[in-house]
Amino acid sequence: MSEIRQGSVKQITSHSNPIVKEIKGLVAQRKHRSQSGLFVAEGLKLATDALAAGWGVRYLALGTEARDNPVAQKAAATAKARGALILEVSTAVMSAMTRKDNPQMVVGVYEQRMLSAKDIHPSGAALWVALDRVRDPGNLGTIIRTVDAVGGAGVMLVGDCTDPFAVEAVRATMGSLFHVPLAKISKDEFKALAGKWPGTVAATHLKGSVDYRSPDYTDPVLLVMGNEQQGLEDDMAAACSTLIRIPQAGQADSLNLAVATGIALYEIRRKHLEL
């Protein structure tokens, strides 16, 4: 694609265009996202969120409806000024790129951001969430959105987690992906961080003996959540200062991971949140 300059506009009507193929690859395969460091986010709201938060943008594809939309045109002008290639595409091409019958009017390709353990310096009222091997992209996206809603500092992805830059995860964040820092860390790095954490390190656990409403959570708080199938690994649980449980009635074995995270987060942040 050396003949195409970034910061310019290109019209695309063919499904076999190399940029269309590149975007389809980013939607379909983690391998392509990891190798390129890029990801796809659908929709005008996510484009305006990404641009306002200063994320790097490689391509901004505009469908036919975006041509008369002033917000979309403004996003395109901002992206172009930052060096993005603006793609004017047909609805059919937009559908093919995103594998959706009713595609959004704007689709962006952005540069991934990922922190590591050395970037995490908890202080003040910071609230981090650590996820042990989260598997479901919808759960991950929903948790990122909820962490944003409670003013959390970030989310640590411990061990082999689902890709936060998968289209399903990005979709579920509803734009919060662009506001919540993410860190990829190993289990050993988690244990080291938990060991020197200055505030409460609370793990939710089905064998926890502490009602999640009773601790006096000391800031900064680290909330730790287990894997959807296997729960939290024993050695990770041992690295936490308290194991909290959300009481249940009825026959459900457990709560959904994202629901349990939301319930715990709102209790932990109770004193920081008001209408």
Tokens for 204, please give them. 């939710």
Rounded to a whole number of angstroms, the minimum distance from the CB of residue 209 to ligand SAM is 11
**Contacting ligand SAM (CB under 6 A), which of 61, 180, 257, 265?**
257
Could you give the CA distance from residue 15 to residue 123 in angstroms, rounded to a whole number?
Answer: 50
Comparing CA positions, the residue from 98, 90, 87 lying closest to residue 6 is: 87
Per rule CB under 6 A, is residue 248 in the interface with ligand SAM?
Answer: yes
Token reading at 178: 């662009």
**86 touches 9 (CB < 8 A):** yes
Regarding 175 and contact with ligand SAM (CB under 6 A), the answer is: no
**Is 169 or 225 the residue whose CB approaches ligand SAM more closely?**
225
- Decide if residue 172 touches ligand SAM (CB under 6 A): no
DSSP string for 208-226: --EETTSS-PPSSEEEEE-
**Taking CB under 6 A as the criterion, which residues in 186-245 touch ligand SAM?**
204-206, 208, 225-226, 228, 231-232, 245
Task: Please choose, out of 52-60, 119-127, 140-148, 254-262, the segment that lies near ligand SAM by the rule CB under 6 A.
Answer: 254-262
The CB-of-198 to ligand SAM minimum distance in angstroms stands at 23
14: left (phi over 0), alpha (psi -120 to 50) or beta: beta
Q: In the numeric block, which tokens belong to residue 95?
A: 């559908």
Q: Does 88 bind ligand SAM (CB under 6 A)?
A: no
**Least gap, CB of 206 to ligand SAM (angstroms):** 5
Nearer to ligand SAM, 58 or 133 (CB): 133
Say whether residue 159 binds ligand SAM (CB under 6 A). no
Closest CA to 147 of 179, 99, 195, 120: 179
| Contact flag: residue 24 with ligand SAM (CB under 6 A) | no
255 binds ligand SAM (CB under 6 A): yes
CA angle centred on 102, ends 60 and 167, rounded to 5°: 55
Helices (H) and strands (E) in the chain, counts: 10, 12
- Kindly determine how many residues on this chain lie close enough to bind ligand SAM according to the rule CB under 6 A: 16
* CB 200 within 8 Å of CB 218: yes
Comparison of 60 and 260: residue with beta carbon closer to ligand SAM: 260
Would you tell me which residues interact with ligand SAM (CB under 6 A)?
204-206, 208, 225-226, 228, 231-232, 245-246, 248, 254-255, 257, 260
